[in-house]
A and B are shown apart, each in its own frame.
Chain A
Amino acid sequence: MKQVFSKNYWGDKDISLLVGQILRIGVILASSILAIGGIWYLVVHGQDSVPNYRDFIGEGKSNTTIHGIIIGVFNKNIPQIIQLGVLLLICTPIVRVIGSLFGFIIEKDKLYIIITLIVLTVIVGSILSGVKG
Chain B
Amino acid sequence: MTILTFTLILLLGAFVAGLLGSLTGLGGGVVVIPLLTLLFHVDIRYAIGAALLASIATSSGAATAYVKEGITNIRLGMFLEIATTIGAVIGAVIAIYMPTNTIAIIFGVVLIFSAAMTVRKKNEHALSGGSALAEKLKLNSTYPSEGKLVPYKLTNVVGGFSLMGVAGVLSGLLGIGSGSLKVLAMDSMMKIPFKVSTTTSNFMIGVTAAASAVVYLQRGYMDPGIAFPVILGVLCGAITGSKLLKRMNPKTLRIIFAVAITLVALEMIFNGFQQKF
Docked CA distance A59–B72 (Å): 37
Tell me whether A50 and B217 are in contact (CB under 8 A).
no
By a CB distance below 8 angstroms, the chain A residues around B2 are 46-50
Question: Smallest CB–CB gap between A86 and chain B, Å?
Answer: 5
- Interface majority SS (helix, strand, loop, mixed), chain B: helix
Docked CA distance A43–B60 (Å): 29
Tell me whether B81 and A89 are in contact (CB under 8 A).
no
Q: 1/0 contact trace for A18-41 toward B, CB 8 Å?
A: 011001101100110011011001
* Interface status of B150 (Cβ within 8 A of chain A): no
By a CB distance below 8 angstroms, the chain A residues around B220 are 57-60, 63-64, 133
Tell me whether A82 and B227 are in contact (CB under 8 A).
yes
Question: Smallest CB–CB gap between A106 and chain B, Å?
Answer: 13
Query: Given A54-B43, A63-B222, A94-B210: A49 and B1 within 8 A (CB)?
Result: yes
Question: Smallest CB–CB gap between B234 and chain A, Å?
Answer: 10
Query: Given A17-B67, A34-B231: A123 and B210 within 8 A (CB)?
Result: yes
* Interface status of B127 (Cβ within 8 A of chain A): no
Could you say which of B79, B92, B222 has the most chain A C-beta atoms within 10 Å of its C-beta? B222
Interface size on B, residues (CB 8 A): 65
Tell me whether B4 and A47 are in contact (CB under 8 A).
yes
Question: Smallest CB–CB gap between A6 and chain B, Å?
Answer: 20
Nearest A residue to B95 via CB reads: A133
By a CB distance below 8 angstroms, the chain B residues around A59 are 220-223
- Of B51-59, B115-123, B186-194, the one touching chain A: B51-59
Nearest A residue to B2 via CB reads: A47
Query: In chain A between 41 and 84, which residues have their CB closer than 8 angstroms to a CB of chain B?
Result: 41-42, 45-51, 53-60, 63-65, 78-80, 82-83
B225 interface neighbour in A31, A41, A109, A126, Cβ under 8 Å: A41
Docked CA distance A77–B8 (Å): 22
* Interface status of A2 (Cβ within 8 A of chain B): no
Tell me whether A93 and B59 are in contact (CB under 8 A).
yes
B206 interface neighbour in A41, A96, A100, Cβ under 8 Å: A96
Residues of B at the A interface (CB closer than 8 Å) are 1-4, 6-7, 40-43, 45-46, 53, 56-57, 59-61, 63-64, 67-68, 70, 72, 74-75, 78-79, 81-82, 85-86, 88-89, 92-93, 96, 137-138, 203, 206-207, 209-215, 217-229, 231-232, 235
Residues of A at the B interface (CB closer than 8 Å) are 13, 16-17, 19-20, 23-24, 26-27, 30-31, 34-35, 37-38, 41-42, 45-51, 53-60, 63-65, 78-80, 82-83, 85-87, 89-94, 96-97, 100, 103, 109, 111-112, 115-116, 118-119, 122-123, 125-127, 130-133
Kindly list 18 other residue pairs between chains A and B, CB separation below 8 angstroms, not including A51-B3, A82-B225. Answer: A13-B70, A16-B70, A17-B67, A19-B67, A31-B235, A42-B3, A46-B4, A50-B3, A53-B40, A58-B219, A59-B222, A64-B220, A82-B224, A92-B210, A103-B74, A119-B82, A132-B218, A132-B219
